[in-house]
Amino acid sequence: MSAVFITLALTILTGLLSWGLGRVRSRFTRTSAPKGEHPNTTRTVLSEAVRLSLLPLRVALWIGWLYLVSGLFTWSRPLQAQLFTVLIGPLPGIVLVIVAGVFAIRLGYVLIDLLFEAIREGRFLARTYSARLDLRVNTFSGVFKGTLTIVVGALALVLVLRQSGLDIGPLLAGAGILGLAFSFGAQSLIKDIINGFFILFEDQYGVGDVVIINGNDGLGGLVEDINLRITRLRNTEGRLITIPNSEVKTVANLSSRWARVDIKVPVPHDVDIDRVMAMMVREVSALRAEPGWQAKILEEPEMLGVDALSDTGVVLRMLVKTAPLQQWRVDRAVRRRLKLAFDRESIRFTGLSTAVQLDPGQALEELTEYNREDAR
């Protein structure tokens, strides 16, 4: 009976200790900093380290309970002997390596998140650049986390093999030979990775950008994902296009830092073009002064003047600098105001017989509606 009471006491004690560790672990669960305050980096890292270390500690606590209880009864002592054999064998070292690997990966994720959160908030860079990098956080964070997982996983695999008693020297030598052979057979993969690195490093584009790859006859769409090997685009038809990074030769980024609306208005020969040009500038300036448009129209319009002459009239050209991904919305609003202003002044447009060639980026406009909400 004494063995039963000891077992009961050990069970209650172990359960209480495990419950206490669970409560402590829940208190160290990572929470975001209050609005307007920066998270304490040291405290966050230490909290995550404690939270991750308490789980294997609880498992070890119950293993110790099993070892002690199995020695209290005659029928369970063989189990204790087997458990002792396991505990002094390679298994604890293997488990320790796996736990340490998971711990390192999770802690690395926390540090990466903190780093890119600081970049997003402009604590390391000027705010103008931080706004641009806001679209890049998910891209770089994913690449960094993936690289960390591969490196730590490979190192953990080598240590597990070593703990298992295997001679890893020949394995590493064989892996080197296989790696050399693989490099000859996977040159396109290596080119993908190298080109992907430079795409990210040079900030050619990232998740959330609208791009046209390899010229106007190439592929265009919203960048949904990019890593060191491939780029995934979603076009206006909803198709997900996967492009190896080595195939990316030229990139037209329609959402990088700023954009521009190129407005060409055909008018008859008999109108006062100076009055029409002044009216066009005045209408854009009035639109920019309205609430909600100051952030979309970055500067006063640039009137270039007469852009072309024909037997049917004169083409006036004006440029409007806009925020990224706002060029299509500004274009529609400006053309609407110009149409209303022309109607008030009884100015008619000339009928051009030539076909209108659209900017290929306009076909991608539909993507920007959910791009601003989901992809940033």
pLDDT digits (tens, 9 = 90+) for 239-295: 899 999 999 999 888 877 788 888 898 888 888 889 999 999 999 999 998 888 888
Q: Taking 70 as the threshold, does the pLDDT of residue 33 lie above it?
A: no
Maximum mean pLDDT: which of 35-49, 128-142, 175-189, 283-297? 283-297
What CATH number is associated with residue 321? Answer: 3.30.70.100
On whether both 42 and 98 belong to a single domain, the answer is: yes
pLDDT at 156 (0 to 100): 85
On whether both 20 and 81 belong to a single domain, the answer is: yes
Number of domains the chain contains: 3
Q: How confident is the model at residue 48 (pLDDT cuts 50, 70, 90)?
A: low
pLDDT at 355 (0 to 100): 32
Q: How confident is the model at residue 135 (pLDDT cuts 50, 70, 90)?
A: low
On whether both 58 and 175 belong to a single domain, the answer is: yes
User: Could you give the CA distance from residue 134 to residue 146 in angstroms, rounded to a whole number?
Assistant: 20
pLDDT at 325 (0 to 100): 79
On whether both 340 and 210 belong to a single domain, the answer is: no
Q: Which of 179, 171, 40, 157 is nearest to 110 (CA)?
A: 40
On whether both 50 and 173 belong to a single domain, the answer is: yes
- Better-scored residue on pLDDT, 117 or 280: 280
pLDDT at 132 (0 to 100): 53
Q: What are the φ/ψ torsions at residue 104 (nearest 5 degrees)?
A: -65, -40
On whether both 246 and 265 belong to a single domain, the answer is: no
Q: Taking 60 as the threshold, does the pLDDT of residue 181 lie above it?
A: yes
Q: Taking 70 as the threshold, does the pLDDT of residue 127 lie above it?
A: no
User: Could you give the CA distance from residue 90 to residue 162 in angstroms, rounded to a whole number?
Assistant: 10
On whether both 173 and 275 belong to a single domain, the answer is: no
The stretch 224-229 carries a mean pLDDT of: 84
pLDDT digits (tens, 9 = 90+) for 340-363: 998 888 888 775 433 333 344 555
Q: Does residue 358 fall inside a structural domain?
A: no
Q: Does residue 364 fall inside a structural domain?
A: no
First to last CA, the chain: 66
Maximum mean pLDDT: which of 38-52, 77-91, 237-251? 237-251
Q: Does residue 334 fall inside a structural domain?
A: yes
On whether both 65 and 137 belong to a single domain, the answer is: yes
On whether both 266 and 245 belong to a single domain, the answer is: no
SS3 annotation, the chain: CHHHHHHHHHHHHHHHHHHHHHHHHHHCCCCCCCCCCCCCHHHHHHHHHHHHHHHHHHHHHHHHHHHHHHCCCHHHHHHHHHHHHHHCCCHHHHHHHHHHHHHHHHHHHHHHHHHHHHHHCCCCCCHHHHHHHCCCHHHHHHHHHHHHHHHHHHHHHHHHHHHCCCCHHHHHHHHHHHHHHHHHHCHHHHHHHHHHHHHHHCCCCCCCCEEEECCCCCEEEEEEEECCCEEEEECCCCCEEEEEHHHCCCEEECCCCCEEEEEEEEECCCCCHHHHHHHHHHHHHHHHHCCCCCCCECCCCEEEEEEEECCCCEEEEEEEEECCCCHHHHHHHHHHHHHHHHHHCCCCCCCCCCCCCCCHHHHHHHHHHHHHHHHC
Q: Does residue 105 fall inside a structural domain?
A: yes
Q: Does residue 336 fall inside a structural domain?
A: yes
Q: What are the φ/ψ torsions at residue 205 (nearest 5 degrees)?
A: -165, 170
User: Could you give the CA distance from residue 328 to residue 132 in angstroms, rounded to a whole number?
Assistant: 19
Distances (CA, A) of 62 to 25, 67, 74: 17, 9, 20
Q: Which of 52-66, 187-201, 268-282 has the lowest mean pLDDT?
A: 52-66
Maximum mean pLDDT: which of 135-149, 159-173, 284-298? 284-298
Q: How confident is the model at residue 110 (pLDDT cuts 50, 70, 90)?
A: confident
- Better-scored residue on pLDDT, 229 or 73: 229
Q: Does residue 370 fall inside a structural domain?
A: no
CB atoms inside a 10 Å sphere around CB 128 = 9
On whether both 117 and 231 belong to a single domain, the answer is: no
Which residues make Cβ contacts (< 8 Å) with residue 176, sequence separation at least 6? Answer: none
Q: Does residue 125 fall inside a structural domain?
A: yes
On whether both 179 and 222 belong to a single domain, the answer is: no
Q: Taking 70 as the threshold, does the pLDDT of residue 155 lie above it?
A: yes
pLDDT at 318 (0 to 100): 92
- Structural domain range at position 127: 2-184
On whether both 28 and 127 belong to a single domain, the answer is: yes
Structure tokens at 198: 């430079």
Structure tokens at 61: 């606590």
Q: Tell whether pTM > 0.85.
A: no
Q: Does residue 361 fall inside a structural domain?
A: no
